[in-house]
């Protein structure tokens, strides 16, 4: 047999052999953290905390154990100082948050939009604002800080309570020591109304009310009820809707990027549902939900709290008294952004 014929025979024999499948490499699995830390101010029944717990529960269930979101309420990961949450996420200490726009406004000046006094008359105005180009612009601003905002929520309109007297006109605030959470704008608002503003964390608020270190505070009604502020001498509650506390369900950009596409989708969709859960909690029993349920306000009355509903004319008097503060901070927020917000609100007012 010639060399050429021998080579052909070997090739033919090789061709007749069964083809063996190449071994399949196991798909690389992402290396997820044992726990993803989610921070939020306060605890249930605060609406922002409701959003945080709903978000974590939905993510944990739908990811079937791949993700473990754990909520740390009371801003406990930052020693109770809610104004440090944003920085902690950027530093990688925290993975996600349900932010209060009030608490991040010292670092993100545009978020002071929600604190402009008497900008939004009610919940329809709030919804219109966050659904507009203004809401999208604020998300883009936050995204420039390595944080991915996923959904808007609401902590509720901030109403004012105190231990001294009913507040029906600006003059009624004169001399009252009123606690505010953060942001120079609040100090200026209460100074313009003749009050003595006192900044302190939420953790310090309850003992301050019980000892009389401060006379009053401003928070949503359902927080007022949940933390039994009626037992802390807060016997006068004025519904004035002077500003709203918006919530933003957010996650670290590097954390979101590290997730598989299916898990990113779960996190984002759960965040949207969590934002809506917060809205529902914030508006419960205030007469603004379908059916006009006013059970939260009725509960205040049952606890011996005088609830003062201001008329539109009454609110205009407060708005006029704080207009210089509004104009000053509109320039800080960005005049163009404020005008767009006013236009979005005007369409539903």
Q: Tens digit of pLDDT for each residue in 159-181? A: 999 999 999 999 999 999 999 98
**Cβ atoms of residues 182 and 172 within 8 Å:** no
Taking CB atoms within 8 Å and a gap of at least 24, the contacts of 203-211 are 203/74, 203/80, 205/179, 206/232, 208/179, 209/163, 209/179, 209/233, 209/234
pTM for the predicted model, two decimal places = 0.87
b/e for 205-240, b at 16 or more Cβ within 10 A? Answer: beebbeeeebbbbbbbbbbbbbbebbebbbbbbbbb
* pLDDT score of 292: 85
* pLDDT score of 201: 82
* pLDDT score of 8: 46
Residue ranges and CATH numbers for the domains of the chain are: 36-346 (3.40.190.170)
Residue carrying the six token digits 């974590």: 56
**Cβ atoms of residues 161 and 230 within 8 Å:** no
Q: What is the pLDDT of residues 290-301, one digit of tens each?
A: 888 999 999 999
* pLDDT score of 6: 44
Across the chain, which has 349 residues, the per-10-residue mean pLDDT values are: 44 42 45 96 91 98 97 92 90 96 93 97 96 98 96 96 98 97 92 96 89 96 94 97 96 98 98 97 92 94 97 96 98 98 95
Rg of the chain taking only CA atoms, in angstroms = 27
312 HSE (CA, 13 A, CB side): 4
* pLDDT score of 50: 96
C-alpha to C-alpha distance for 99 and 152, rounded to whole angstroms: 10
What are φ and ψ of residue 65, in 5° steps?
90, -5
């Amino acid at each position: 047999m010639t060399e050429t014929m021998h080579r052909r025979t070997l090739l033919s024999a090789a061709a007749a052999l069964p083809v063996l499948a190449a071994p399949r490499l196991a798909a690389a699995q992402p290396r997820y953290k044992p726990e993803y830390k989610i921070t939020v101010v306060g605890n249930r029944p605060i609406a922002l905390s409701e959003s945080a717990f709903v978000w974590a529960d939905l993510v944990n269930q739908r990811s079937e154990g791949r993700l473990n979101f754990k909520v740390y309420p009371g801003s406990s990961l930052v020693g109770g100082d809610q104004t440090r949450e944003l920085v902690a996420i950027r530093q990688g200490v925290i993975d996600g948050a349900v932010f209060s726009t009030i608490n991040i406004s010292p670092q993100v000046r545009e978020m002071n939009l929600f604190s402009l006094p008497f900008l939004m008359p009610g919940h329809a105005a709030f919804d219109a604002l966050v659904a507009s180009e203004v809401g999208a612009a604020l998300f883009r601003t936050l995204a420039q800080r390595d944080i991915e905002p996923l959904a808007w929520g609401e902590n509720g309109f901030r109403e004012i309570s105190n231990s001294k007297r009913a507040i029906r006109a600006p003059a009624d605030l004169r001399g009252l020591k009123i606690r505010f959470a953060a942001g120079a704008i609040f100090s200026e608002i209460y100074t313009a109304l003749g009050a003595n503003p006192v900044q302190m964390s939420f953790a310090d608020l309850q003992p301050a009310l019980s000892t009389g270190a401060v006379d009053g505070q401003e928070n949503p009604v359902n927080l007022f009820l949940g933390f039994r502020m009626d037992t802390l001498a807060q016997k006068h509650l004025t519904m004035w809707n002077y500003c709203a506390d918006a919530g933003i369900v957010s996650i670290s950009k590097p954390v979101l990027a590290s997730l598989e596409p299916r898990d990113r989708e779960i996190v984002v969709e759960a965040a949207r549902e969590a934002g809506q859960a917060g809205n529902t909690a914030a508006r419960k029993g205030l007469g603004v939900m379908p059916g006009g349920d006013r059970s939260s306000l009725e509960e205040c009355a049952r606890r011996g709290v005088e609830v003062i509903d201001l008329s539109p004319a009454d609110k205009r008097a407060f708005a006029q008294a704080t207009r210089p503060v509004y104009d000053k901070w509109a320039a800080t927020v960005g005049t163009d952004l404020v005008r767009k917000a006013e236009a979005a609100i005007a369409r539903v007012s």
